[in-house]
Amino acid sequence: MPDESGTIPVHREPWAGQGLPPTLTWDERDGGVLRLLDQTLLPHRVEFRLCRTADDVWHAIRVLCVRGAPAIGVAAAYGLCLAARPLTHLRRPEFLAHLRAAADYLSTARPTAVNLSWALRRMLAHAEHLSGADGAALVPGLLAEAHGIARQDAEVCRRIGQIGESLIPDSAGVLTHCNAGALATVAHGTALALLYEAHRQGRSFRVFADETRPLLQGARLTAFELAASGINVTVLCDGAAASLMQAGRIQLVVVGADRIAANGDTANKIGTLALAVAARQFSIPFYVVAPLSTLDLSLASGRDIPIEQRAEDELRQVGGIDIMSAAIKCYNPAFDVTPAGLITALVTETGIARPVNARTIAHLVAAAATSDTRS
């Protein structure tokens, strides 16, 4: 297992394209390569990190080269394909046992985003239904399933945008936090999918993006992708959002999610709870936007969601420079949990839950199951 200091060799490739670079792509060359846009380098350098092993993918997820709950799930699915490649000689039972071990390993890269374990469980379940006596016979089917998860992610995000775009009034000021955009998914994004769709329809609005300390995903990623897409964006400190709301300049808040409990309590990037509280204070709608794969119905409430604590140095250092003595303690949770009661509505690919509670969420899930059966 690689450690967090990046001791495994990292292979990179510059991007030669225009506009918004793809978050992740699969390349069949050299026996299969997962090409991840290295989001730790944005917006300064647009480079891909080439992953050829499950270790490479684990490490890329851990250091946030790829981040955003949906994108992490897709990356992990491809990571499992990379783990399977050297196992083609194994007979089916041994192959499946190794695959389960690789999935367990990949699922440890980050603890909060449930899409990670969701994608891995889906891959394992698919492997068990595939016919084939050995690894060589099973690997193509696994890769097809990973492609399916990636295609589905883009399609789900497109539908989320269509379902939610009407929530963006013309001339609105829209506040968002962290990055729940194209860079957090295969394409379109979750919270930002609403904005892309409203923009495509010619509606005019203005986005305010929290910079999102400590890792500045809002300043580095959301500003980058919205500006690249021609959407009016302004960055602010996380602490300044309440003053914009107080001044009447924000008409709605849209955020993504990393895990949603059965009752609608939502884990998302640290700072989200403060926004939800302020939105309630100033009577502003607060929307969580996420695919159904972000739901974890096994958890009754947000109290049960594991919260990743990240390294104190993420606060101590800014741009690689110490801003505090190493003797100063830091508190650095990656996520917080917003109670469902503070969420105006949950927007998913199958519809909108409003109000957000166990009953409306169960209803959305049931509707999705029915539509899956029909299709």
Question: 99, 123, 195, 244: which one contacts a second copy (CB under 8 A)?
Answer: 244
CA dihedral 170, 176, 182, 186 (to 10 degrees): -120
Pairing assessment for the beta strands 335-338 and 321-322 based on DSSP bridges = unpaired
Q: Which is nearer to a second copy, 165 or 265 (CB)?
A: 265
Q: Binding of a second copy at residue 204 (CB under 8 A)?
A: no
Q: What is the CA radius of gyration of the chain?
A: 20
Rounded to whole angstroms, the Cα distance separating 365 from 343 reads 18
238 contacts a second copy (rule: CB under 8 A) = yes
C-beta of 14 vs 331, nearer to a second copy: 331
| Number of residues this chain uses to bind a second copy (CB under 8 A) | 55
205 binds a second copy (CB under 8 A): no
* Residue 37, beta-bridge partner list: 48
46 contributes a contact to a second copy by CB under 8 A: no
Decide if residue 243 touches a second copy (CB under 8 A): yes
Among 10, 274, 365, 368, binds a second copy (CB under 8 A): 274
* 304 is a catalytic site residue: no
- The yes or no reply on residue 208 touching a second copy (CB under 8 A) is yes
**For a second copy, which residue of 3, 319, 372, 373 counts as binding (CB under 8 A)?**
319
Distance from C-alpha of 122 to C-alpha of 115, rounded to nearest angstrom: 10
Question: Residue 226 and residue 209: Cα distance in Å, rounded?
Answer: 10
Interface residue with a second copy among 65, 143, 160, 278 (CB under 8 A) is 278
Sole binder of a second copy in the list 174, 216, 253, 257 (CB under 8 A): 216
Spatial distance between the Cα atoms of 364 and 370, rounded to a whole number of angstroms: 10
Among residues 159 and 310, whose Cβ is nearest to a second copy?
310
Helix (H, G, I), strand (E, B) or coil at 54: helix
Burial of 44: CB neighbours in 10 Å, binned 0-12, 13-18, 19+: exposed
Residue for token pair 């960055």? 235
CA distances from 35 to 9, 127, 155, 279, 293 (A): 15, 23, 20, 38, 23
Q: Which of 41, 324, 358, 367 binds a second copy (CB under 8 A)?
A: 324
**Binding mask of the shown chain, residues 162 to 201, with x at each position contacting a second copy by CB under 8 A:** ---------------x------------------------
Comparison of 56 and 225: residue with beta carbon closer to a second copy: 225
Tell me which residue has tokens 């996420």: 290
Pick the piece of the chain touching a second copy (CB under 8 A) from 15-23, 145-153, 188-196, 266-274: 266-274
Query: Amino acid identity of 87?
Result: L
Stretch that binds a second copy, among 55-63, 80-88, 130-138, 317-325 (CB under 8 A): 317-325
Judged by beta carbon, residue 24 or residue 174, the one nearer a second copy is 174
Is residue 318 at the binding interface for a second copy, with CB under 8 A as the rule? yes
Q: Does 212 bind a second copy (CB under 8 A)?
A: yes
Q: Which helix (H) or strand (E) holds 352?
A: strand 351-353
Does 84 sit near a second copy (CB under 8 A)?
Answer: no
Per rule CB under 8 A, is residue 246 in the interface with a second copy? yes
Q: Alpha-carbon distance 251 to 176, whole Å? A: 11
Q: Exactly one of 197, 211, 258, 265 binds a second copy (CB under 8 A); which one?
A: 211
Query: Which range, of 70-78, 91-99, 194-202, 321-329, touches a second copy by CB under 8 A?
Result: 321-329
Cβ neighbours of 91 (radius 10 Å): 10
- Measured on CA atoms in the order 289, 291, 297, 302, is the torsion positive or negative? negative
CB distance 254 to 346 below 8 Å: no
Distance CA 344, CA 217 (A): 24
The residues pairing with 308 across neighbouring beta strands, listed in sequence order, are none
Structure tokens at 235: 């960055």
Report the distance separating Cα 174 and Cα 274, nearest Å: 16
Q: Which is nearer to a second copy, 93 or 319 (CB)?
A: 319
Q: Pick the catalytic residue: 258, 265, 296, 336?
A: 258
Residues that bind a second copy (CB under 8 A): 43-44, 177, 208, 210-214, 216, 219-220, 223-224, 227, 233-244, 246, 270-274, 277-278, 280-281, 315, 318-325, 327-333, 336-337
**What are the residue numbers of the active site?**
258
